[in-house]
Structure 1
Amino acid sequence: MKARHIFLTGSLCLMTSLLAACGGGSSTASNPVVTPQVAGLSLRGTAATGKAIADSAVNYKCRTGTGATRTAADGSFEINLPAGSALPCILETSNPANGKKLHALAVNTGVINLTPLTEMLSTRLMRTDMAAFFTNPDLDAVTKTFTSANVTAAQTEIRNVLSGLLDTSTLSDFYSTPLKAATSANPASGDAQDKILDTLNLALAANLYDPLLTMLAKTNPPASLPVFGRAGCLIQLADKQFISCSGPNLWENAPRIDITPGALIMTPGSKRVFAALLNYSPFVDYMRDPVTWQVVEADGGAINNFGEYTAPSKPGTYHVKAGREDYPLLSVTALVVVDNSTPDFVPTLSVDRHVVNVMPGATINLQASINYPPNINYIRQPVTWSVIEADGGSINLSGSYVAPTKIGTYHVKVQRDDFPSIYLIVDILVNYPPD
């Protein structure tokens, strides 16, 4: 009963190995190695948002030593610190295209990039607005906070937040993985990391970027962070144990609840209907879905028995909770960002089943649900179905799947045509039923 999200050919996973320490060095210790005061300290990297940030100032403030340099046409920059300088440093540049500032923290010499991912990572590490932090940086706090364990945890949390939109698992280190950015003169020249940044820009359409940074700064504990672009989901196993729907060893008959959308942005006073998807025990019928709805915050708006939510008039971050009446310990929460300046649309995609059991050669119909941009009409539902494995059966445009004759586990992909970065994988279990 798991839904996995992939980007390009990589499968969604969370990073389980320690990051290389930023700047090109590596450390498995609990504290970073801070370069002492020596002559010739150098930092180099690339500033990009999927396209190189060319001819932009890169300002830096170090424990001793401040200054600025400029990016080249390909976004690359180099900082040669004067003799007597000491790390750590905080770097800042601005994207001329939209005025957004990007930051990075350096505790070692070597490669240090400036991208939306470094901004997210810095924000999560320091739990503050990085533009304000750069104005008056507390570099002692950077030294204390910037440990291998903390960087690994923060980066893993960001991967999970973005996992409903794209897969960053191929990028081992947000800070110091060498980056080749596409340029205006050569828009196809970007490397794999640059393409991740391209997809991130698309996935964060509808101005999710700033609210996401705010939540990375203020949301604690990590389990409370939203997963954008994916329905919320929780499964109850035996002995009152709970796991997310992306966890391993899921069973079709385990009690489950999904909420969709799992995260969205709304304008004050606007309305949106949330949907809860439940599974039921065999031979059990309900006259209505056994779901209770509530808004977690007292001033967070209102929701009725049918899941219709009315946003409050005050901008802020709120939560809608759906609980199962038949399994009172089982509930799932969706995040709502109420913002005056953002459009009331975040693209979502969900499926009726995350795991499907089917007999060899049999046909089964799969269904996908999406939301639609305002004032846009489609002739057909803009989703495309495909089978991942060459021998995994076939599926048509309407989601009618024909299983192969060979027993095994296969995978069907459903992807939004209008937002190609958003797609899901359904597990297909082909086997004969037990005797």
Structure 2
Amino acid sequence: MTLADKILAVHADREAVSPGEFINIRVDLILANDVTAPIAIREFHRLGVNKVFDPKKVVMVPDHFVPNKDVASAEQAKLMREFAYEQGIMYFEAGRMGIEHVLLPEQGLVLPGDVVIGADSHTCTYGALGTFATGMGSTDIAAAMATGDIWMKVPPTIKLVYHGEPGEWVGGKDLILYTIGKIGVDGALYSAIEFAGEAVTAMPMDGRFTMANMAIEAGAKAGIFRVDNKTQLYIKSRANRSYSVYEPDGNAEYSQVIEYDVSDIEPQVALPHSPANTKPVSQVGDIEINQVVIGSCTNGRLDDLRLVARILKGRKVHPRVRCIIIPGSQQVYLDALTMGLIEAFIKAGAVVSTPTCGPCLGGHAGVLAAGERCISTTNRNFVGRMGSPESEVYLSNPAVAAASAVTGRITSPEEISG
């Protein structure tokens, strides 16, 4: 069995499972946010159930519109907050929260071998920890909150193997954009992706989170890494419960095995209006920008901010560019502050925001007007994703985004770091 098969079989109390089977599985953690939780809560009440199955296994994080941007978002957060207090479930208030997919691993709430479901499509981020994690609709979340299990069709697994040693400015974001550019936004439709190869083995955890996060942009049900020493080191000071590590069988059957040599790839840029519309940064051309967003559940971790500081320290954001930097959690913010990164950002002329998903979904704190262009470290660039349907969003890694903030056009970090 593959890694995904192993985890699902254990949670279905089965010796084995096969792709295409429908199974019921126990869940270890259920997640919802201030956009999706209110729907789940209303559906939960419609079921006639008074209590969630286990308060320790349900988490709610207000990260999309908090601090509340308007009355409607305040009401959404209030509903979620009151339900959390009533049920005794975990709730992370403003000032203690973070972007959910940065926060939960940081808090030790997601561990290897878990099955995690979330009312957010980027729940697949947790696969970096050897977890089977997937997004579901709010009605599914309501049922899981009541029962502690969920039905699922076992997905086939695609194995992606990355060979070689990536260049200095090439990281997890580039590998996953390169992959999506090759296989398309439906190239892994309803499949689990198992990431492998020496390039990802050498990759730090923050880069793995980025790759797992964007598995959904290729249509995947989940994206999973094997647990290794880096994983164990990451969770060593965070885990407060036992966990299980699973390995794929040597004779595991994959629907596809795709291999890439990433030794010579450049930083990648996804042009409008698809994460699959990728080009090496050197081939993008002379494209001026109005805004840069650095952060999100994709690239709002400490390694990302360190990379940005390497570019921005001692330089200035272009006078016609707005540069918005969003640490992924309060802890990331505090660590960046202690390390002097926040000072470097402010001196460069960037805006540093409290943790929020705001600009990624065109919600607040960085919405684009008609005709504006933004280069962003987020994960989606569909029409109207960050504001006006007449705006454009380009996706890149944090180094490219920071270099572009300095020059006012899409720029390789090599151009200004030499």
Between Structure 1 and Structure 2, which shows a larger proportion of strand residues?
1
Instruction: Note whether the superposition's TM-score is higher than 0.5.
Output: no
Q: Which has the larger radius of gyration?
A: 1
TM-score by length of 1: 0.29
Between Structure 1 and Structure 2, which shows a larger proportion of helix residues?
2
TM-score by length of 2: 0.30
